[in-house]
Structure 1
Amino acid sequence: MPPSLQPLSGASPLRAPPPQLFAALDLGTNNCRLLIGAPVRGGFRVVESFSRVVRLGEGLARSGTLSEPAMERTLAALSACADRLERRPVRRLAAVATEACRRARNGQEFLTRAALETGLRPRIISPREEAELAMESCAPLLERGDRRAILFDIGGGSTEIAWIRTGPRPELIGYLSIPCGVVTLSEGEDCFTTRGFGAVVDDIADRLAAFDRLHCIGQEIRAGGVRLIGTSGTVTTLAGVVLALPRYNRQLVDGQRINADAADDALETLFAMGRAGLVAHPCVGPERADFVLPGCAVYAAIRRLWPMPEVTVADRGLREGMLMRLMRGDGGRAEGRGGDGGRGAA
């Protein structure tokens, strides 16, 4: 070793600096999710991921408010996220809240309480920003030859539809937010029955029809070059059934292009299982058994209106979109922990 590169006597050898970490928190109607990542060429490397079913929107459709048990469950999950962030040298954190907090009369009051108890300060985002973040995360799944894309996200409290013009940087042409998600629908029609399932399909299809006419989506599909992308637990579950996975595996599902007829068959398989079968299914389980069929009804409505030969499955969403924006430096208003300087503001 040349003398100029010899370590000083008693000194430790030079070590590479630790990677810069960024974090994104998505507080939804059904789940609280945290993702911590480090930038790499062309994207990011996941350092830590956390997800917990909290059912924040439970009973919201009836009462118009977040219930105390739902808030307690969510605060416990947010505290778990805060503990994880304390252990990581996160440079910047973006935290958002979606439909449940948008819709509830006490949504902002709950977020103020969450900030006091956990130090985390999610901000309520608009349906448009929600659609843009989903588009950001799913853009790498677009392929050469795609002119347009329909991106759907069946959430806990709402369903978001994005109509996208592809290109070097995809553009949101139009978006639609329907206040129907798997949690709210599970509290209405009984999707375990043929009548209830069909009623939800009819209702969602009616709600999508005006958006379809406005953007001439059916005509664009007939012209070719339109990709259908689904990002939600519903579509990833359908993919798991199509692929006959012994247990859910994100690496085998994310980015898969599945035949739409095979997905329809998987839907029928799930419907025929009933609740007990869904509880026992390795790609569903007890926490999600009540929500899978409402999500499948929304998917069936999308399929009815936009009958594409295949669907691209995305196990990614708002967290990934936020991380990509933060790492690129155009994250806008990044929300973090009170009094945390670098984590709090972009």
Structure 2
Amino acid sequence: MKLTPTRWSAYLRQPDPAFGLVLVYGPDRGLVRERSDQLAERILGGDADPFRSIEFSASQLRSAPLILADEALAFGLVPGRRLLRVRDAADSIVEAVRLLLNHDTWPGFVLLEAGDLSKRSSLRELIEGARHAAAVPCYEDDPATLRQVVAETLKAAGLSPSPEVTEFLAQHLGNDRAITRSELEKLVLYMGPVAPGQSRTLTLDDVAVIVGDARAIALGGVAMAVGSGSRAAAVRAIAEAAAEGLEPIGLLRMVAAHLQRLYLAVGAVASGRPVKDAVAGLRPPVFFRDLEAFSRQVQLWSPASLEAALLIILETEMRCKQTGEPQRLLAEQACLRVADLSRSPRRGASRS
């Protein structure tokens, strides 16, 4: 059986005794770990008795497939259900799982954790089609799910974010659940304890201090500097990014993403939308502290110059990967060439 997010929530509240094996898998490894830990705690409770928990590796089950069934069928030495856990499950252990599923019931509880498994995965097919097993997919969080996670986490900590803050966090935290939890925990610690029954307002200024690390800030600084057309600002920003240990290809891709957002906004303005509306319509939204500078850049660039700039970035990334030339030098030269392009005259528009 396959458990949807809604069915998973219900199952976690009260695990169905019919399922003696659960596979938690998906591309969001943070969410895989979170759900696996939640289920393990639900099975074991607060009991830390080592006799109730045992772990296997995929290599162990490949070399001795019968081990899983033997251990799952064995009764424990202490009261309570035993947990058998495999943290690196893959199609290679399908025979071990098949041998276990040949039985109708077993005393132990088997928890499998895996990365992204395709629809053709033999392990997924076996478990989803079994009567006594369930598969729980963990896909990357979409904006709606992120908003829910943000709201629930902050509310539990006594923090009251405005819709603006919630939306900003949902758009900027990324889609890995572990990273999301980590950033929210840092935010809660920064805000300090809140008395029971009380609530503290969370502002965008609070969020800006905590969310996003120095590497992300440095990358954003390069993109904004290049987009401004200032060679001096671009050189300074690139030096700061290098000091943070940023890879040249990552830098190029951040600049490309910034140029693509400018292209969307410039295109909207060319179609008759006011600059303010064109910028406000971008998703994810422009960071509030960059709004004024980004809006100026929208008026600075033309569609043709942005297309030429994106071509420079694309060609430079290919050179970084294929030629063996110094990548940082290539990236810096490309960024300066792009900055110069912003001074290209806009067709049919005044630069003033």
TM-score, L = length of structure 1: 0.24
- Name the structure with the higher strand share: 1
Higher relative helix content: 2
The structure having more radius of gyration, on CA atoms, is: 2
Greater RCO, 1 or 2 (C-alpha within 8 Å, sep 6+): 1
